[in-house]
Structure 1
Amino acid sequence: MSISHSGTSLAQSFINFRFTFFNLIRSEQHFLLLIAVLFFIAGFSYPYPGIAMWVGFMLAGYSAIANDSIQTVGTFISSNQNKAWWILWLFIGLIFVATTSYSWAVFDGDVSFQRLTAKGFETAPQSFTFLQLAAPIFLLILTRMRMPVSTTFLLLSCFSADVAGIEKMLLKSVSGYGVAFVGAYLVWLILSQSGLIKFKGKAHPGWSVAQWISSGSLWAVWIMQDAANIAVYLPRSLSLEALIFMNSFIFLGLGLLFYLRGGRIQEVVTQKTDVLDVRPATIIDLVYALVLLFFVWVSVIPMSTTWVFIGLLAGRELGMRTFLKKEDKTMSATFRLIGKDLLFALIGLAVSITLAAATNPAIFAEIFNR
């Protein structure tokens, strides 16, 4: 009887494995087909600037937000899993429309909050290369691999006029990583030492209100920094019709993102400690928003918000391991987690510089003649 039961369980396990395996293969085949179609569209479009700028924008819009969603709405999605996806979508989507529309009205049609007035990006492209349109497709592939790479480096580097512009972005981004790391470490040090971070039981309803406010504020500040990544394909001053099309496309793309609950890249957030609890999620968003707001004020040079985000999570994880001494993760496991996120960011940087060098012969010559 026992042998028969064991045989039945083994057979059922094999059937389940085969079903999962073939579903995965079928899913990957669909994704590869999509990538092939997108590469074809990019190859067909790039010789025609009027078409290419909108194709590039749409590819960049979806790929950038799909990858960067972990930074801004990742904790929001994770800690609001009991809410209907369309409620979360309307909240975040309307903030996007309001923020870009404000920039458009105040800065004479510019939706990037003047990030694209920085040296090297102030002029809209008059023509495009294949790699400039293909850069967002590479970003989609990296997102599929769950890599939280910098969309700023991957997309903007292809349009930089020289290496100096990339170096300024890199310097500001590394500074952002350091400030976020130290800031998060100190915040969790203070909270853990005071005992305020030991959240137990059901959260007070006020925490949910606070988290929606902090997440909404973070999302708005993120748009101020990263709208340049998708607007770089477009004219620096948009007409009203262009603004409406841009906002409508991103608004609908956000709807798909929330329907999928963040997609695969969401695992970068959910594998971190306590992000499903609304209380630590609120603190993460608040600290992140304050760091980004500081760098918005510092200069108009674009920066990688991804580097700021992984610095924030690294400082938080290290602080929790050091002072809370949780038993579910060792210190070595924490360093491996921190190192993995940083490694993926560096891989993204290497891909970005390679694309920039391949796109711009002047950058290629400047890099290899040093």
Structure 2
Amino acid sequence: MELFILYTGFLLAAYAVIGNDVIQTLGTFLSSNSKTHWLYLWAFASTILSATLIYGWYSYGGDVSYQRLDQVSLPETLMWWHLLAPITLLVITRFGIPVSTTFMILSVFSSQQIIEKMMLKSVYGYGISVITAFVLYLLIAQRFESKSSIDKLRKTNQKRFWIIAQWGSTAFLWSQWLIQDFANIYVFLPRKLSLVELLGSLVVILTIMAYIFKNRGGKIQEMVNQKVNTRNIRSATIIDLCYGIILFVYGNYNSIPMSTTWTFIGILAGREIAINYLLNKGKLKTSYKLIAKDFAKVSIGLAISIFIVYLIQFIKTI
């Protein structure tokens, strides 16, 4: 029974986490490469994922979470209620709500002290992302996000440069996101994986990714598509690079898990405000509504996460 819960939990967590979170890193990549066959995009992302996973497993003695799970222990006995978190996340993902998988999945296995540290790191991450993206786009929006600059890009040979740049920035961002979120995917499995467990889990993850890529991201992708110019390859490149740098610098500051969802939403919010402030002042109200809607969605996800944690604690006492 325990093995059933362990492997079922991993399958549910892998599908829910990848389905909910992958769009944060690959959403702009999918949008701006909508005419490229999904198999090529999947093969590219799968190569980066496999390399990052195997490197972590080799470097940390079988620990694919890059030590993010050092303070999140696996219970001696897994019970059915541990599956409530990934099942809830799966349902939420189907409705297109970008919930924080870190809070939803890891909170079930974490102490109150670790949960507080995760929340604090994630809130700071949101604030840093909003400010960084806002300042960055105040400086570059006129040159890179105006209609005239985008039209000029289409008419020149610069597009080849930006295609290469985008695939490079996506590879960098994707690897940094995986370092943060492998913990959410692998929390149900032993902290030290054997080679067989590593390869078996990799096959499962790549299969799930193939399904998501074939469906072009699903519901969560709509959040990316609603933002200004995200289908433009140059815009997508800058978003990915900004996001990747924040995860690299701030996310690796310590090994406490953090919500990459909150960081992603923060970047989109700061970017949207700056672009519309400079270029589309008439659309500022619409921007604020979109940002408020996005923030409400992640807040709902956080509230549900906390509810699930307390529900499991209640069930344990029965």
Shorter-chain TM-score tier? over 0.9
How far does the alpha carbon of each residue in 1:100-153 deviate from its partner, in whole angstroms, 9 at most, with x for none? 110000001000011001x3x0x3232223232121121121112111110111
2:153 paired with 1:174: no
Judged with a 3 Å threshold, the aligned counterparts in structure 2 of structure 1 residues 56 and 188 are, in CA distance, closer, same or farther, namely same
Deviation at 1:192, TM superposition (A): 2.6
How far does the alpha carbon of each residue in 1:304-335 deviate from its partner, in whole angstroms, 9 at most, with x for none? 000000000000000011111265xx211111
- Report if aligned partners of 2:2, 2:79 keep a CA contact under 8 Å in 1: no
Where does residue 145 of structure 2 map in the other structure? 197
Where does residue 64 of structure 1 map in the other structure? 17
Q: Percent identity?
A: 43
2:29 paired with 1:76: yes
- Report if aligned partners of 1:148, 1:306 keep a CA contact under 8 Å in 2: yes
SS across alignment from 2:65: coil
- Report if aligned partners of 2:131, 2:270 keep a CA contact under 8 Å in 1: yes
Aligned counterpart for 1:282 among listed residues 233, 237, 258: 237
- Report if aligned partners of 1:49, 1:126 keep a CA contact under 8 Å in 2: no
Distance in 1, Cα, partners of 2:124 & 2:292: 18
Distance in 2, Cα, partners of 1:362 & 1:258: 37
User: TM-score, structure 1 length as denominator?
Assistant: 0.81
Deviation at 1:274, TM superposition (A): 0.4
Where does residue 159 of structure 1 map in the other structure? 109
How far does the alpha carbon of each residue in 1:310-364 deviate from its partner, in whole angstroms, 9 at most, with x for none? 000000000011111265xx21111111111111111111111111112235999
Aligned counterpart for 1:107 among listed residues 60, 66, 69: 60
The correspondence of residues 72-151 of structure 1 with structure 2, limited to 5 A, is 72-117=25-70, 119=71, 121=72, 123-151=73-101
2:246 paired with 1:298: no
List gaps (5 residues or longer) in structure 2.
none
How far does the alpha carbon of each residue in 1:165-208 deviate from its partner, in whole angstroms, 9 at most, with x for none? 11110000000000110010011001035x34333221521101
Aligned counterpart for 1:360 among listed residues 310, 313, 318: 313
Runs of 4+ in 1 over 6 A off after TM superposition: none
Where does residue 167 of structure 2 map in the other structure? 212
SS across alignment from 1:204: helix
SS across alignment from 1:360: helix
Where does residue 296 of structure 2 map in the other structure? 343
Distance in 1, Cα, partners of 2:10 & 2:173: 23
Distance in 2, Cα, partners of 1:345 & 1:272: 17
Deviation at 1:163, TM superposition (A): 1.5
Distance in 2, Cα, partners of 1:157 & 1:363: 15
- Report if aligned partners of 1:110, 1:237 keep a CA contact under 8 Å in 2: yes
Deviation at 1:230, TM superposition (A): 1.2
* Structure with more relative contact order (C-alpha pairs < 8 Å, separation 6 or more): 2
Distance in 2, Cα, partners of 1:127 & 1:140: 23
SS across alignment from 1:115: coil
- Coordinate RMSD, CA, aligned: 1.6
Where does residue 224 of structure 2 map in the other structure? 269
State the one-letter code of the partner of 1:348.
Answer: G
List gaps (5 residues or longer) in structure 1.
1-47, 365-370
State the one-letter code of the partner of 1:127.
Answer: T
State the one-letter code of the partner of 1:144.
Answer: R
The correspondence of residues 13-52 of structure 1 with structure 2, limited to 5 A, is 48-52=1-5
Deviation at 1:70, TM superposition (A): 1.7
Q: Which has the larger radius of gyration?
A: 1
- Report if aligned partners of 1:357, 1:363 keep a CA contact under 8 Å in 2: no
Q: How many equivalent pairs are there?
A: 310
Distance in 1, Cα, partners of 2:137 & 2:286: 19
